[in-house]
């Protein structure tokens, strides 16, 4: 059996083995992470699937009231970290934009701030001041254009949620050859996603076009061979 959970509303989906639990849609569960069990919302109830589920992590249990209260405190702490980071960025006059914040409490209390910038930024003084303000260890990580779209989410030109923000686990390489093979116009507005790079769905559909072209080539070759044999007779 498999179920799907999300750490934030309309966020990326994570598939897990429910184990002995059967969470319904809307219930909160505990998902094992490197930083300990984390509260997430079940968005797809446990169902039987025709695939091997041994590779999927198993739920750590159903979230109780104490887990929900701790999760709410972490969300408030993230919001406070984001506000403090934005204020210090303006004070230091740095060309940075905060995208997301992760916060881990406990013995290894730390805050991770994800940001974008047009170039490399010297943020050593910002890390020092932010750590003194939050009284914890602070890490800053610069995101690429695609990772920014994944973290922010949004709606694509197809009218659906961005693939990278919902189900994609890795970014596969894309090329302009995929655009020409699918006979799409070389218009950046038509072939670019929210990140400004080539749309990830080009990779999904390209094998269909490649198979179609190979089939058409075989049909043309077969027709030419038949014609040659007819002329020989």
User: Do residues 198 and 184 make contact, with C-beta atoms less than 8 angstroms apart?
Assistant: no
Other C-beta atoms within 10 Å of 66: how many? 8
pLDDT tens digit sequence for 33-82: 988 899 999 999 999 988 887 889 999 999 999 999 999 999 999 999 99
User: Do residues 195 and 146 make contact, with C-beta atoms less than 8 angstroms apart?
Assistant: yes
Asked if pLDDT for residue 215 goes beyond 80, the answer is: no
Q: How far apart are CA 76 and CA 84, in angstroms?
A: 12
pLDDT tens digit sequence for 96-122: 999 999 988 877 789 999 999 988 889
pLDDT tens digit sequence for 132-162: 999 999 999 999 988 998 888 888 888 988 8
Is the domain spanning 69-143 CATH 3.30.300? The answer is yes
Residues 6+ apart with CB under 8 A from 227: none
Residues 6+ apart with CB under 8 A from 27: 41, 42, 62, 63
Tell me the CB-side half-sphere exposure of residue 36, using CA atoms within 13 A. Answer: 10
- DSSP letter at 23? P
Asked if pLDDT for residue 17 goes beyond 90, the answer is: yes
| Confidence (pTM) | 0.74
5: pLDDT confidence band, cut at 50, 70 and 90?
very high
């Amino acid at each position: 059996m498999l179920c799907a959970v999300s750490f934030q509303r309309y966020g990326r989906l994570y598939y897990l083995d429910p184990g002995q639990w059967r969470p319904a849609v809307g219930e909160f569960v505990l998902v094992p992470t490197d930083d300990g069990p984390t509260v997430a919302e079940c968005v797809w109830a446990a169902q039987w699937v025709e695939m091997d589920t041994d590779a999927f992590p198993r739920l750590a249990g159903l979230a109780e009231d104490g887990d929900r209260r701790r999760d709410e405190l972490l969300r408030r702490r993230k919001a406070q970290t984001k506000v403090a980071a934005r204020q210090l960025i303006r004070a230091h006059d740095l060309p940075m934009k905060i995208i997301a914040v992760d916060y881990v409490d406990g013995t290894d209390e730390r805050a991770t701030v994800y940001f974008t910038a047009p170039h490399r930024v010297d943020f050593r003084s910002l890390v020092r001041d932010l750590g003194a303000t939050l009284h914890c260890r602070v890490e800053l990580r610069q995101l690429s254009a695609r990772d920014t779209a994944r973290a922010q989410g949004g709606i694509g030109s197809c009218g659906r949620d961005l693939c990278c923000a919902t189900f994609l686990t890795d970014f596969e390489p894309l090329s302009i050859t995929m655009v020409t093979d699918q006979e799409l116009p070389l218009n950046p507005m038509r072939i670019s996603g929210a990140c400004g790079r080539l749309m990830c769905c080009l990779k999904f559909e390209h094998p269909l076009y490649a198979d179609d072209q190979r089939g058409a080539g075989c049909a043309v070759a077969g027709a030419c061979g038949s014609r040659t044999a007819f002329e020989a007779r």
